[in-house]
Structure 1
């Protein structure tokens, strides 16, 4: 900026100097064989308007000074009739810029060579250069600020679809694999298309995995039921104790495999339905009574009674009936399985600050195990190794509770031995 400004100011000063020297040259006269000069006022006044610059001039005729400053040095590059010369040098303590103009004046029939030099200090030039630099710098800074603001606005406008997509992904649940449908700039269309294609492949892969688990559990459970029935018949026909013991171990292994297959199927179903949770009004009082009625025959085989305690007024919440019943059924089934004969499994429904479904039994409890660890897949207490189980019942209940914004609480039965497993849901 400073270099361009200095060059522009110098060109301006050179133009004024040349005009001043030309004006002086035009005032030269030949009278009675000699050259005279009536110095025009305008020739120097046009130079004196720039700041407080000093002006020097010298008119030389055939090597002799006609008028002006005798000590003003001649130019190193002599001017010609067709070319003016410019030079910069130190003169009387200041830096000056000088122009030299050549003319030929006829005196008494003989030509005389005249050289006119006009010099001016450079204070005005520096002032003009600084002013131009300041204006140009201010304009540049202003342009930079405006360009930066416009760039930030443009960048924000261009990135706003990505920000919306980021917010959408943040709000989505772990199983929400819907494609993105949002207006995006042309540059982002291939990216969104590739992302949606990836989501579609992931959704298909998860669906195949869930279908495989469900199909495998179904395919395994049916043959196992047949094998168990045949093993029971064979067990009755055996006479030797060691053979009967072997068959009992086989029946136990079949029971464990059948139960694991069934609960794997339940777990796959819970995982699938949690991703697209149904929002319907569920009457929990009706669900508790229905679950207890379903499991009472199985409990009766062990001489265990199932007691449902529900409020007089219906207790309702929004959720998935199938999932909620699956969670409660797994908890009650566990309570029946681990309860001794002639005991009661109590299912109590209450509504206060939260909705609580508490299942208590008089069984073995948890044997000092970490109750939070029991929510993990295939985790079982150390005191139930002799009872058939898969370790998925509490896992299913915990996942259903979290899918509905609730939690699963596991504790000892306060009214005696046994356990108390509670599903807790918010009222809203």
Structure 2
């Protein structure tokens, strides 16, 4: 099982940060567009109001010392043409209304052109006041022209501008977010490629990581290559240690056992022979335990450094039985192999599989009586199943699967040398190949049946 410690995604954080920046820029764009557009619309209205007042001013004339006006149609129509707003006007001479709305306020200051916004007749209006001085013979008269317009049209224009600015802001945000996703993907692509290249490697491929990477990833690549070199050296040392330990532990124990056998044959007193037999048994147990522990370490090591190759399980079983035939022959035990198809093609680690089969057969030989038969049935449908059936003592107890646990042995085999690791090794090899082990008593008589099951394909 692979444990992954994740504290957020770099891609996610980068996209969120860029999206927040895009949202801020979209808001700024919305405010700028709306402000500029509303200012432009307001200036347009002011310019039209001023043009209308100027048109009225140009239509003023004097007659017999009095100021007269022929109100031009175009002066007010230019305001009504852009919206449905109401238009008000007032022309005052010396403070007296010449024409228009008497209650339309006149400006207080004497500036030539004045713009103002106020409430009139229950509505908000925008007004311009234009002052002119007319000479009527011996006198000059001050003329004030006020033109006002409601702001409904400007409000409608402002609403359209706001909607347009909002649409532009949303489009800009979506576009910026999409570009942020692309930018994040592009920025992290070298890291993704490097991770994919390392993931595709086999367990024994400990070459340094090479390839073009951005400068920011160079320290990570250097650290990874340094770690790979240290790991490779450590694994080599572990493999050498296991091989050396197996040789140095098994050889002295075998020598001590041989010398003990020689001494046992030369002794005459029964009590000395009994003690020596106990010593020989202890040596056998120590030797077997040390061997099984080293085999278990080797299995764990090769499971981590898994190497697969195409092989034939039928040939592998026959080779294993041939190697164990001399041991079985010492007890006059025969080994029969049967298979339903000529070949069992499989992709796996040959050393691990052979180790598992050897442990199964070794247990069958060890716990079988003399002059018995061990049967190896190989079936291929629906899975590859290698069932080793002996005529020995079988499994004592209700839960036979518990014998797969480390150092677990039955109460009926205390007199036989064993370590309780054989079936554990078999189980670990099966799991490494996505298979399983099933154990039960022989259904056709005394003995045990251990099934090593592997998936086809």
Question: What TM-score, normalized to structure 1?
Answer: 0.83
Equivalent position of 2:312 in the other structure: 282
Equivalent position of 1:80 in the other structure: 111
Spell out the pairing of 1:378-397 with structure 2 (5 A cutoff): 378-397=407-426
SS where residue 115 of structure 1 aligns?
A: strand
Aligned match for 1:58, one of 79, 90, 98: 90
The alpha-carbon deviation at position 422 of structure 1 amounts to: 2.2
Spell out the pairing of 1:237-256 with structure 2 (5 A cutoff): 243-256=272-285
The alpha-carbon deviation at position 412 of structure 1 amounts to: 0.7
Equivalent position of 1:69 in the other structure: 101
Query: 1:365 and 2:397 equivalent?
Result: no
**C-alpha RMSD over aligned residues:** 3.6
The alpha-carbon deviation at position 89 of structure 1 amounts to: 1.9
Equivalent position of 1:48 in the other structure: 80
The alpha-carbon deviation at position 195 of structure 1 amounts to: 5.5
**Structure 1 CA distance, aligned partners of 2:308 and 2:319?**
20
In structure 1, runs of 5+ residues without a counterpart are none
Equivalent position of 1:422 in the other structure: 451
Change in Cα spacing, 1:347 to 1:133, as seen in structure 2 (3 Å) is closer
Equivalent position of 1:317 in the other structure: 345
Change in Cα spacing, 1:70 to 1:348, as seen in structure 2 (3 Å) is closer
Does the Cα contact within 8 Å between 1:58 and 1:117 map onto a contact in 2?
yes
Does the Cα contact within 8 Å between 1:412 and 1:419 map onto a contact in 2?
yes
The alpha-carbon deviation at position 193 of structure 1 amounts to: 6.2
Aligned match for 1:98, one of 119, 127, 130: 127
**Structure 2 CA distance, aligned partners of 1:321 and 1:133?**
74
Equivalent position of 1:215 in the other structure: 244
Matched positions, count: 423
**Structure 2 CA distance, aligned partners of 1:288 and 1:129?**
88
The alpha-carbon deviation at position 31 of structure 1 amounts to: 4.8
Does the Cα contact within 8 Å between 1:21 and 1:99 map onto a contact in 2?
yes
Query: 1:134 and 2:163 equivalent?
Result: yes
Query: 1:9 and 2:37 equivalent?
Result: no
**Structure 1 CA distance, aligned partners of 2:210 and 2:135?**
93
In structure 2, runs of 5+ residues without a counterpart are 1-29
The alpha-carbon deviation at position 48 of structure 1 amounts to: 1.3
The alpha-carbon deviation at position 28 of structure 1 amounts to: 3.5
**Structure 1 CA distance, aligned partners of 2:288 and 2:147?**
114
SS where residue 383 of structure 1 aligns?
A: helix
Aligned match for 1:28, one of 57, 60, 72: 60
The alpha-carbon deviation at position 120 of structure 1 amounts to: 0.9
The alpha-carbon deviation at position 94 of structure 1 amounts to: 2.2
Equivalent position of 2:8 in the other structure: none
**Structure 2 CA distance, aligned partners of 1:136 and 1:311?**
79
Aligned match for 2:335, one of 307, 311, 329: 307
Residue by residue, what CA displacement relative to the aligned partner does 1:387-421 show, whole Å, maximum 9, x if unpaired?
21122222222333344443322111122111011
